[in-house]
Chain A
Amino acid sequence: MAHVSIRDLEITYRHPQKNTEFVAISGVNVDVERGEFVTIVGPSGCGKSTLLLAIDGLLKPSAGEILIAGRPVTGPGKDRALVFQEFALMPWRTNERNTWFGNELQGEKKQTLREIASRFLKLVGLEKFGQHYPHQLSGGMRQRVGIARALAVNPDILLMDEPFGALDAQTREIMQTELLRIWEEDRKTVLFVTHGIDEAIYLADKIVVMSARPGRVKEIIRVDLPRPRGMKVRELPEYGRLRSHIWRLLEEEFAMVAGG
């Protein structure tokens, strides 16, 4: 049984005052196996984030269903954790207290919280910054806190919504490698939304390419590049082939979005 199973998913946004609605995604079918790192890539506004929010249980489908380990999603849950593009850290809390936030909500004792925060801040390389505040950290470091927070609740599924989108190009590349290093420890199921084709290929076992809005699945592509993924992987011919292929797929979609 697939870990995450998305069947004929459709999500419609309704505008409360104007009483109009628009279809964000339609007819999406995707299966994700346990321990798979899946990236979702597509043009702007294609509903990638919407898909992720629905899997996290923050949005209700208007049609279709999302099954996790065979059971339908009814709301947020302990088995999933989300990492946000804009970090979503509480500025009035130290990094340590931000990290243990999910566990705190679940009612863990103070001593346990400290241990958990310490362990996961160490995992993301920020053990010295526990008592600092988010505003004292760079963007990349803040996102590491966000990742630590998500991992701290020990989810079965890690959902990442363009987590490196707000970072500069160099930090982004460093974070990609970091993320894979952290992921290799545990091999959780990951769904990772991104704009970047390179990022999508570098990280993934499987890539879901989406069309422009209303978002549909254009193609699901297996990535057969060896793990662990180092810098050299970008030089492999397979990488280039994948890149051209995905580029062509998205080119059609960009043209549509631009009104071509």
Chain B
Amino acid sequence: MYTSLSMRQRWGIGSFIVFLALWELNRHLALIKPDLVSSPGRVIVAGWRLLTDGEFYSHLYVSMLELFCGFFLAVVSGLIIGALIGRYRIIGSLFDPLQMALYSTPTVALVPLFVLWFGVGVGSKVFIVFIASFFPVLMNTASGIRQVDPLLTRMSRSFGATDWQMFQKVLLPGALPAIITGIRLGWGRGIIGFVIGEMYVSLKGLGYLIRTYGNAVQTDYLFFLVVFVAAIGLIGTNLFRRLEQTLSPWREEEGTR
């Protein structure tokens, strides 16, 4: 098991290096128009310029503000409503049609509407992030609670658990892996949310920068920003994966048994 994993890792890293090399070579070989794809060297230089320029951080701040506010609201409300839906079937059926409709509508299409409601500033982006992150958290929480082994709920009833005790001591811990998965997915959606929102209309932010540099055909800056945003996504996703593994060590082992 161990060797094949690091083999895979080696192949992955290897192909990535080859990719970078070809990309850099393209500047000289011009297989694809260099203006369109830039090169790793130029991207790094552009990145350096941005990171040493103070103004970049004011944009970063705005985007992170939007992301964290919207994401936090989504997680809190998603958990509460998700728990209610998961626990009480009736509430679930009440929400179902609304949920289905909202979930299937691509957030992108609703962005202009949200801007009309909340303006061109931070407010509308927070709302977009919220809507984008809310549904994965909600749905994973609800299904996580529903799929807790009924044997365990029966067992807790047998030992005299009240409804609240069962929720607190059996359903919630049992649903925790699914809940964290929902939060992890919400994070990714939230990032897409603020980027799209800012690209549509904004005064500041990473998406604003992407739009600006895109319009100016400054591909080196553009690539750097895209990688930067992707890195934010990756860091968050990895953190949540690690959290899930720490909180539910038994799942991995059960898989290998």
A interface list, Cβ under 8 A from B: 56, 58, 76-78, 81-82, 84, 86, 88, 90-93, 101-102, 104-106, 133-136, 153
Say whether B55 faces chain A, with CB atoms less than 8 Å apart: no
B interface list, Cβ under 8 A from A: 151-152, 154-161, 165, 169-170, 173-174, 176, 248-251, 253-254, 257
B154 touches A101 (CB 8 A): no
Interface core residue of A56, A81, A92 (most chain B CB under 10 Å): A92
How far is it, in angstroms, between the C-alpha of A91 and the C-alpha of B148 when the chains are bound?
A: 11
Q: If A88-B151, A90-B173, A92-B248 touch, does A78 touch B254 (CB 8 Å cutoff)?
A: no
Closest to A134 in B: B250
Q: If A58-B154, A88-B152 touch, does A101 touch B159 (CB 8 Å cutoff)?
A: yes
Which chain B residues lie closer than 8 Å to A136 at the CB level? Answer: 253
Residue of B156, B158, B257 touching A56 (CB-CB under 8 A) = B158
How many contacting A-B pairs (Cβ < 8 A)? Answer: 56
Classify the interface of chain A: helix, strand, loop or mixed: loop
B157 touches A90 (CB 8 A): no
Give the top 6 A-B pairs by smallest Cβ distance, nearest first: A88-B155, A102-B159, A91-B250, A82-B158, A135-B250, A92-B173
Which chain A residues lie closer than 8 Å to B154 at the CB level? Answer: 58, 88
Classify the interface of chain B: helix, strand, loop or mixed: helix
* 6 A-B pairs in the complex with CB atoms less than 8 angstroms apart: A76-B159, A76-B160, A81-B159, A88-B151, A90-B152, A133-B249
Residue of A76, A91, A135 touching B158 (CB-CB under 8 A) = A76
Q: If A90-B173, A92-B174, A105-B165 touch, does A81 touch B158 (CB 8 Å cutoff)?
A: yes
Shortest distance from the beta carbon of A75 to any chain B beta carbon, whole Å: 9
Which chain A residues lie closer than 8 Å to B251 at the CB level? Answer: 91
Shortest distance from the beta carbon of A114 to any chain B beta carbon, whole Å: 17
B155 touches A106 (CB 8 A): no
Which chain B residues lie closer than 8 Å to A78 at the CB level? Answer: 160
Which chain A residues lie closer than 8 Å to B165 at the CB level? Answer: 105
Residue of B157, B170, B248 touching A58 (CB-CB under 8 A) = B157
A58 touches B257 (CB 8 A): no
B160 touches A82 (CB 8 A): no
Closest to B161 in A: A105
How far is it, in angstroms, between the C-alpha of A58 and the C-alpha of B161 when the chains are bound?
A: 12
Which chain B residues lie closer than 8 Å to A86 at the CB level? Answer: 151
Shortest distance from the beta carbon of A205 to any chain B beta carbon, whole Å: 24
B152 touches A135 (CB 8 A): no
How far is it, in angstroms, between the C-alpha of A109 and the C-alpha of B176 when the chains are bound?
A: 26
Residue of A91, A93, A102, A133 touching B160 (CB-CB under 8 A) = A102
How far is it, in angstroms, between the C-alpha of A90 and the C-alpha of B165 when the chains are bound?
A: 14
Residue of A92, A93, A135 touching B176 (CB-CB under 8 A) = A92
Shortest distance from the beta carbon of B168 to any chain A beta carbon, whole Å: 11
Closest to B256 in A: A135
B254 touches A135 (CB 8 A): yes
Closest to B155 in A: A88
Which chain A residues lie closer than 8 Å to B176 at the CB level? Answer: 92
Task: Known A-B contacts: A76-B159, A81-B159. Give 8 more (CB < 8 A).
Answer: A76-B158, A84-B155, A88-B151, A90-B174, A93-B173, A102-B159, A105-B165, A153-B159
